[in-house]
Amino acid sequence: DAGVTQSPTHLIKTRGQQVTLRCSPKSGHDTVSWYQQALGQGPQFIFQYYEEEERQRGNFPDRFSGHQFPNYSSELNVNALLLGDSALYLCASSFRGEEKLFFGSGTQLSVL
Amino acid sequence: GIQVEQSPPDLILQEGANSTLRCNFSDSVNNLQWFHQNPWGQLINLFYIPSGTKQNGRLSATTVATERYSLLYISSSQTTDSGVYFCAVTVTGKLIFGQGTTLQVKP
């Protein structure tokens, strides 16, 4: 039973570029949430997708957008990258919005 | 919004020692979870514990919801216990994390 998988594991971009991160949820899960974890901090909620719609959003600008596909996988897009966007981006999945989440290993994004 | 505070921020132990990590939260919550983040960045769910006490091997957790705190106990620590421990509460479907406790267990 595959857990939550994320790709790529590491990514280096320059300021102003755009990036797309990908997540496949755990088998049987239909809800995907994205979190941003800056160095030395706890993860911060970005948004949650269920039934291909954004259901909840944290305090992040519109440069952060997402998508969920019919197979429940998800993408996180960040436009006009800033140095401050450098962080570990974590994807978590659950079933029907249950509170117990399963996390992937994350994508480490570095913006130079 | 709700605040989640963890203490201590850093902890260094010798292998075999016991430790207690604390998590305080500023408002009533329906649930609380403890996670261990391994060196590769993955968050592993240790306990889902809105109240009461649970045990899993050398780890146990207690949440006293009326007093707004939770404790994570690690007994007979091992080097593999090293990493960052987070507590998190659920607010309207999203997790609010504390800042974490970084644990280093020395052989």
Chain A residues with at least one Cβ partner in B under 8 Å: 33, 35, 40-45, 48, 55-56, 58, 88, 90, 92, 97, 99-106, 108
Helix (H, G, I), strand (E, B), or coil: what is residue B4? strand
Return the pLDDT at A1. Answer: 62
**Which residues in chain B have Cβ-Cβ distances shorter than 8 Å to A101?**
33, 45, 95
CA distance A88 to A105: 9
In chain B, whose CA is at the least distance from the CA of A96? B93
Q: Which residues of chain B have pLDDT under 50?
A: none
* pLDDT one-digit tens code per residue, A33-50: 999 999 999 999 999 999
- Contacts (Cβ under 8 Å, ≥6 apart) of A90: A6, A34, A35, A36, A37, A43, A103, A104, A106, B41, B43
* pLDDT one-digit tens code per residue, A22-81: 999 999 999 999 999 999 999 999 999 999 999 999 999 999 999 999 999 999 999 999
Asked whether B105 and B78 are in contact (CB, 8 A), the reply is yes
The shortest CB-CB distance from A101 to any of B42, B95, B99 is to B95
Q: For residue A80, give how far its alpha carbon lies from the nearest alpha carbon of chain B (Å).
A: 25
Token pair for A7: 């790709």
Token pair for A45: 């909620």
- Centre a 10 Å sphere on the Cβ of residue B3 and count the other Cβ atoms it contains: 11
